């Protein structure tokens, strides 16, 4: 387990939990990223806090990278598996399209269903988490993208 980093993972997880806790107890909102950006269009009154949250999300990642450069290199997108001859842009676009579509019609992603939904003991979220983790693992195994 050469990449395993339980301490930084736990600290990062605690920060994400605190973020979700603050948004819930402060504003009564669920820190689900797909939901926060997915409802930018059509622009409603809630667009202001959504944009503030998303801009801060980018700012937080940027700030942390400046403060703790030793934790990681500049992340790159994964290259498509060797058998795929369509080119990286097509593969990446398909991944983004499916993620956008799936999180919209399934009402949530890793944060909304994963962290917040499970913490609320939502049966819908337990179902969604089991499905998207299971399917993602299967896709990674079948495509061999991580190897």
Partner 1 sequence: MSKDLNLRYLAVAAVSGLLFGVGLYVSQMVDPMKVLHFLDFTLIPSGKWDPSLAFVMAVGLVVMFVAVRFGKTQSRPLFDVQFHEPEFKKIDRPLVIGAALFGIGWGMSGICPGPAISLIAFWPQYLPIYLLALFAGSYGGSFVIPSGRDKRLAMAQ
Q: Pick out residues in 66-125 that bind partner 1 (CB under 8 A).
A: 68, 71-72, 74-78, 88-89, 91-107, 109-111, 113-116, 118-120, 122-124
CA distances in angstroms from 16 to 21, 91, 105, 107, listed in the order given: 9, 29, 24, 20
Tell the burial category of 102 from Cβ atoms under 10 Å away from its Cβ (0-12, 13-18, 19+). Answer: middle
Stretch 45-64 residues interacting with partner 1 (CB under 8 A): 45-46, 48-50, 52-64
Kindly state the number of chain residues that form the binding site for partner 1, as judged by CB under 8 A: 113
Stretch 6-25 residues interacting with partner 1 (CB under 8 A): 6, 8-25
State the nearest-atom distance from the C-beta of 82 to partner 1, in Å: 14
State the nearest-atom distance from the C-beta of 83 to partner 1, in Å: 13
Asked if 43 interacts with partner 1 (CB under 8 A), we say: no
Cβ nearer to partner 1, comparing 26 with 85: 26
Instruction: Say which residues have a Cβ less than 8 Å from residue 78's Cβ, sequence separation at least 6.
Output: 145, 146
Cβ nearer to partner 1, comparing 41 with 82: 41
**Per-residue x/- marks for partner 1, 126-145, CB under 8 A?**
-xxx-xxxxxxxxxxx-x-x
Taking CB under 8 A as the criterion, the residue among 2, 70, 83, 86 binding partner 1 is: 2
> Are residues 56 and 130 in contact, defined by beta-carbon separation less than 8 angstroms?
no
State the nearest-atom distance from the C-beta of 112 to partner 1, in Å: 9
């Amino acid at each position: 387990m050469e990449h395993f980093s339980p301490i930084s993972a736990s600290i990062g997880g605690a920060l994400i939990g605190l973020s979700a806790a603050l948004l819930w107890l402060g504003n009564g909102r669920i820190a689900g990223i797909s939901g926060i950006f997915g409802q930018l269009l059509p622009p409603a009154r809630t667009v202001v806090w959504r944009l503030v949250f998303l801009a801060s999300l980018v700012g937080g990642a940027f700030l942390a990278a400046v403060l703790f450069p030793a934790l990681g290199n500049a992340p790159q997108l994964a290259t498509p598996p060797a058998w795929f001859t369509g080119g990286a842009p097509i593969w990446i676009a398909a991944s983004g399209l499916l993620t956008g579509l799936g999180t919209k019609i399934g009402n949530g992603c890793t944060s909304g269903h994963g962290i917040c939904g499970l913490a609320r003991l939502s049966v819908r979220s337990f179902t969604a988490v089991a499905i998207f983790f299971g399917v993602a693992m299967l896709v990674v195994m079948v495509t061999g993208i991580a190897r």
